[in-house]
């Protein structure tokens, strides 16, 4: 990995990684265990991964990235570390930009403050220390949500700026969260590491081939009996149909959203991970959360309230799920 030399090496952390995390990391190329050697993670085959400002950077340089920030993060490690958000205003600007990019107009005028970041309610039970991986953690909202429920959380994302923001958001929220720069198709963990793998508003951007690769690696890092909970878009959702028409009904390009038929989605997850069920996440949007109602202007709040009303109705009238825009796929690893 050429990024170890030069700027990356000057930005590496002089202190060893947390022992719990180091014991669970593995080379994303060959899955061999890693050793800490003076600020670099090394595997027996000689693959090397820098640790910059305490964050392992475990991207595979030769792998075609799913998002341009993977390549950018590798090429500008030290520069990005130097430019990471320092003030509350810088952090809030990053969060606002990320929300607008993922949630669209609903969050354009959200009333976000340092004391009230939009942390959602994750649909998982309270636990005591079960390891959870958030694939595509971005600025860490779901990491914090999971940590508040008692999970021991690791967030992974190909964007170093996003991971740096996630670390700050977790610290501000009083949560212990590990963060890594990495690729969901090449998870840098040993087999059977996590009880739960979670992902929201991420795998919907993957090509079918990349999705299958990611699901296979999710299954690998889950313990037997472990569970994956992944948000995905429904091709037949009312809002999604409009988006597809606006796109000219063409195939998605690069990081655009891929819309899936529910039956196909369920088969792909069952083949990749194990027995799977579909659950309604929301209508008219792919990302809005009811926990954010106090942050949203009145019009956006009405959309979210209507979505929640229909979601509750879909529990009594399952056919409504076929019209939902956002679905959860809940999968279990049998063995």
pLDDT (tens digit, 9 = 90+) per residue, 253-280?
A: 888 999 999 999 999 999 999 999 999 9
Q: Which of 2, 231, 258 is nearest to 135 (CA)?
A: 231
Quote the tokens at residue 253: 């390009």
Given this model, what pLDDT does residue 101 score?
80
Quote the tokens at residue 298: 């009145």
Could you give the CA distance from residue 172 to residue 115 in angstroms, rounded to a whole number?
Answer: 9
Q: Which residues of 11-41 are buried (b: 16+ CB within 10 A; e: fewer)?
A: bbeeeebeeeeeebbbbbbebeebeeeebbb
Torsion sign, CA atoms 29, 136, 244, 234:
positive
φ, ψ for residue 125, nearest 5 deg = -75, 160
> Residue 3's pLDDT band (boundaries 50, 70, 90)?
very low
Is the pLDDT at 12 greater than 60? The verdict is no
Is the pLDDT at 292 greater than 90? The verdict is yes
Could you give the CA distance from residue 112 to residue 102 in angstroms, rounded to a whole number?
Answer: 15
Could you give the CA distance from residue 172 to residue 117 in angstroms, rounded to a whole number?
Answer: 10
Quote the tokens at residue 106: 């609903």
Could you give the CA distance from residue 121 to residue 230 in angstroms, rounded to a whole number?
Answer: 14
Is the pLDDT at 11 greater than 50? The verdict is no
Distance of alpha carbon 44 from the chain centroid? 29
Q: State the DSSP code for 166.
A: H
Could you give the CA distance from residue 300 to residue 76 in angstroms, rounded to a whole number?
Answer: 37
All CATH 3.40.50.150 domain ranges of the chain, comma separated, are 88-332
Q: What are the pLDDT digits (tens) for 200-229?
A: 999 999 999 999 999 999 999 999 999 999
Could you give the CA distance from residue 208 to residue 229 in angstroms, rounded to a whole number?
Answer: 18
Does domain 88-332 fall under CATH 3.40.50.150? My reply is yes
Quote the tokens at residue 39: 């600020």
Given this model, what pLDDT does residue 15 score?
59
Given this model, what pLDDT does residue 108 score?
84
The angle that helices 208-221 and 262-272 make with each other, rounded to 10 degrees, is 40
Percent of the chain with pLDDT over 90: 76
Query: Is 147 within 8 Å of 176 (Cβ atoms)?
Result: yes
The CB density around residue 222, as the number of other CB atoms within 10 Å, is 24
> Residue 4's pLDDT band (boundaries 50, 70, 90)?
very low
Could you give the CA distance from residue 24 to residue 192 in angstroms, rounded to a whole number?
Answer: 9
């Amino acid at each position: 990995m050429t990024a170890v030399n030069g700027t990356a090496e000057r930005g590496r952390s002089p202190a060893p990684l947390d022992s719990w995390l180091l014991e669970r990391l593995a080379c994303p190329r060959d899955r061999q265990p890693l050793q800490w050697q003076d600020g670099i993670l090394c595997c027996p085959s000689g693959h090397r991964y820098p640790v910059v400002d305490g964050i392992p950077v475990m991207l595979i340089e030769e792998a075609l990235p799913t998002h341009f920030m993977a390549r950018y993060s590798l090429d500008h490690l030290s520069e990005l570390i130097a430019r990471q958000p320092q003030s509350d205003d810088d952090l809030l600007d990053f969060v606002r930009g990320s929300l607008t990019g993922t949630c669209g107009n609903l969050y354009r005028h959200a009333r976000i403050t340092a004391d009230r970041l939009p942390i959602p309610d994750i649909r998982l039970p309270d636990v005591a220390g079960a390891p959870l991986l958030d694939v595509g953690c971005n600025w860490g909202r779901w990491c914090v949500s999971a940590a508040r429920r008692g999970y021991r959380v690791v967030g992974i994302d190909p964007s170093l700026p996003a991971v740096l923001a996630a670390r700050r958001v977790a610290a501000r929220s009083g949560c212990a969260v590990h963060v890594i720069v990495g690729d969901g198709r090449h998870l840098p963990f040993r087999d059977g590491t996590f009880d739960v793998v979670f992902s929201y508003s991420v795998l919907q951007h993957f090509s079918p081939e990349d999705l299958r690769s990611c699901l296979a690696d999710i299954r690998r890092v889950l313990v037997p009996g472990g569970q994956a909970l992944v948000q995905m878009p429904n091709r037949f959702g009312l809002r999604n149909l409009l988006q597809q028409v606006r796109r000219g009904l063409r195939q998605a390009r690069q990081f655009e959203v891929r819309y899936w038929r529910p039956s196909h989605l369920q088969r792909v997850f069952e083949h990749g991970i194990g027995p799977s069920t579909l659950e309604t996440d929301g209508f008219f949007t792919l990302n809005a959360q009811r926990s954010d109602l106090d942050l949203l202007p009145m019009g956006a709040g009405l959309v979210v309230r209507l979505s929640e009303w229909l979601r509750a109705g879909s529990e009594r009238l399952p056919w409504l799920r076929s019209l939902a825009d956002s679905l959860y796929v809940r999968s279990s690893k049998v063995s």
